[in-house]
Amino acid sequence: MNMQARTKNEGSFGAGAGDGKQVISVLFVDDEPDILVICKRYLEQTGRFTVNTATSAREALDILCTSAHDAVVADYQMPDMDGIAFLKVLRERYPALPFLLFTGRGREDIAIAAFESGADCYVKKGGTPTKQFDELAQKIQQVVEREVESKRIREMDTIFREVFNNANDAIFLHEMTPTGPGKYILVNDVALRWLGYSASEMLTMSPLDIVPEEVMSVVLPKATKALSECGHATFESVHRRKDGGTYPVEVSCHTLAFNRRTVAFSIVRDITGRKNAEAALCESEGKWRTLAESTPVAIMIHQGDHLVYINPAGEWMTGYSAGELYAKNYWDLAAPEFRQIVRERGRQRQNGERLPYSYDVRIIAKDDSPKWISVTGNQIQYSGRPAGLISAVDITERKKSEDLIALTSRKLALMNDMTHQDLQNKITGLRGYVELAREAKTEEERSAYSDKEERILADIHHMIKNCKDYQEMGVNQPRWIPVEESIRIAASIVSPGPGITVESHLAGLELFADPLIEKIFSHLIDNAVRHGKTTTHIRFLCEPTNEGVLLICEDDGAGIPETKKKNLFQRGTGSAIGFGLFFVRECLEINGMKIAELSHPGNGARFGITVPNGMYRCVKPT
């Protein structure tokens, strides 16, 4: 590839193409020569565009290798490589080059695929040539101008990040005068929060106002000398808050040119914790050990390549004894993919280099079980030599929860896709009956088709409602759901009729679950009414088990045929349009519960919901 052309394509439009004066260079790709001729003529006669053309994506890629363009317009359906595939190649080579899909294919999935692949705009062919090319010209102008503006914003954002994102702590930018530090030009929110001043107050102050005089008299000469000789200095100091309180800090300062002035850029870290830890260690190692050995947080100290101290919590977390751990390299506990970073950060920590305050690591315990820990580290002096102080917290369960949430999200996405397929089937059937009704020769035939159309519309309405339920799964935080009240509400919503009673013996029982779980009771009652045929009584009760409780829903209806039990909870079984018991099972599983069919032929339907310990409670009714 011509790398010079690649660079030009990524930035040529930024040189004024969006200011209304310069001409925009467009590469138009379509396998229909007539379309290319018409488009080129129309766009160029506006005076705002120059148009190069290509009859295939591969020809267009060759052109882009040798000449720069401000935007690419391409058809979707082309030989060898369609518009989406072409777009993906473009995004790999020219990430910022504006791309418009101009096609007669109006399918929604094509538009979605285009935007997911990085298209800037989707324009549908059709209508009068003047109207459609006016729209295309306007869209090209808009996306190019938008990219120009985005480039300017990115440049400004880069400058901002250079100043503010080079440190995790307080940031100060202040003038440097011949007599010493001048007024502040810029400070970040962390600095304002630590010091207690407003931004307007800080801009009237200088380092002389926040560093005690006795500290400044010691720090300033050394810092000034280092800055003049090297352009940077790292030193410890003290900052004084607005309320008069002080705290120790570590300052990393650099001088740089800013708006034709010499300024100092300082990254300041509050080292109160480190100083307190050092003081505590110096004052009483015995006191420190008592604290370290009683805390549930694992604490380790390493010097060189080995651990020199680990507390009981660390032994419990890893499964190794202290003696076994002292014989290992400190990074041997880490899973293979983390050993290099653990080793490198340990070395940097002992050397006093700046590091992220905390990070997550996977370790392998003595019993080969993987565990996730959150590691926080710092440099200390131990037995007169630099060492790394590490604290670690077991976050394995949190990681499992995150994985479960991700799995749940994928499952819900799959459900939505399946529901979309069902909806398409219903719409196809509806259209079929509409056509048949038009061709019907008698009013009786038309009326029959109309009844079927009404039924399908009712099914579609029901499906849309269920889609909404699926989308709401996992959105809300779990809370305690009173079961008896939920059953009463469900019965009133379903309205089983005057000949059917709903009975509940669950006063005080609450489930800890997504609020959407309340809807399972509506589905269970509806299932008994729809399929029980002779149902007159529906009852809810619970029984204790070794694992928790079994929540039971039973009725006195016709029961469930053996032939249907195998696929009872599968999608498409249990209701007219594919939800019902399938929804109940999915909703319960996401909340950590399970449902099973427990009935016997001829004795009505009976379902049991297994609720594990911790997911339910019994409260005294008020």
Please say if the pLDDT value at position 203 is more than 70. Answer: yes
- For residue 3, what pLDDT is reported? 38
Q: What pLDDT does 531 receive?
A: 86
Pick from 139-143, 477-481, 605-609 the range whose average pLDDT is largest. 605-609
Q: Select from 10, 2, 149 the least CA-distant residue to 72.
A: 10
How many Å from the N-terminal Cα to the C-terminal Cα in the chain?
A: 77
Mean pLDDT across 591-618: 86
Helix-helix angle 396-439:443-472, to 10 degrees: 170
The shares of helix, strand and coil residues in the chain, as percent rounded to the nearest 5, are: 45, 25, 30
pLDDT at 517 > cutoff 50: yes
Q: What is the pLDDT of residue 237?
A: 94
What would the mean pLDDT of 381-390 be, rounded to a whole number? Answer: 85
Taking alpha carbons only, the member of 122, 125, 130, 68 closest to residue 93 is 68
Pairwise CA distance, residues 49 & 23, whole Å: 5
Give the CA-trace dihedral at 264, 265, 270, 275, to 10 degrees: -60
CA atoms of 575 and 583, how far apart (whole Å): 10
The confidence band for 14, taking pLDDT boundaries of 50, 70 and 90, is: very low
Average pLDDT over residues 28-38: 91
pLDDT for the residue 576: 42
For range 57-69, the mean pLDDT: 91
Using pLDDT thresholds of 50, 70 and 90, give the confidence band for residue 17. very low
pLDDT on residue 595 = 93
Average pLDDT over residues 588-608: 86
pLDDT beyond 80 at 425: no
Residue 40 has pLDDT above 70, yes or no: yes
Model confidence pLDDT, tens digit, residues 3-12: 334 444 654 4
- Write down the mean pLDDT value for the chain: 83
- DSSP SS3 for 457: helix
Q: Which of 84, 110, 102 is nearest to 38 (CA)?
A: 102
The string of pLDDT tens digits covering residues 148-159 is 888 888 888 777
20 pLDDT more than 60: no
pLDDT digits (tens, 9 = 90+) for 103-119: 876 677 888 888 888 88
- Comparing 368 with 334, the larger pLDDT belongs to 334
Burial 84-117 (b: 16+ CB within 10 A, else e): bebbeebeeebeebbbbbbbeeeeeebbebbeeb
Residue 442, pLDDT above cutoff 80:
yes
pLDDT tens column, 158-201: 777 666 655 578 999 899 888 889 999 988 888 998 999 998 99
Residue 469: the pLDDT is: 59
What was the pLDDT predicted at 167? 58
- Give the confidence band of 536 by pLDDT, cuts at 50, 70, 90: very high
480-503 per-position pLDDT tens digit: 899 999 999 888 888 888 889 999
Helices (H) and strands (E) in the chain, counts: 21, 23
pLDDT at 304: 87
Structure tokens given for 272: 């109160």
| pLDDT digit string, tens, across residues 263-319 | 998 999 999 998 888 887 677 666 677 777 788 888 888 988 899 888 888 899 888
When pLDDT is cut at 50, 70 and 90, the band that residue 432 belongs to is: confident
Average pLDDT for 333-355: 85
Confidence at residue 151, expressed as pLDDT on a 0 to 100 scale? 83
pTM, full prediction: 0.36
pLDDT of 254 higher than 50: yes
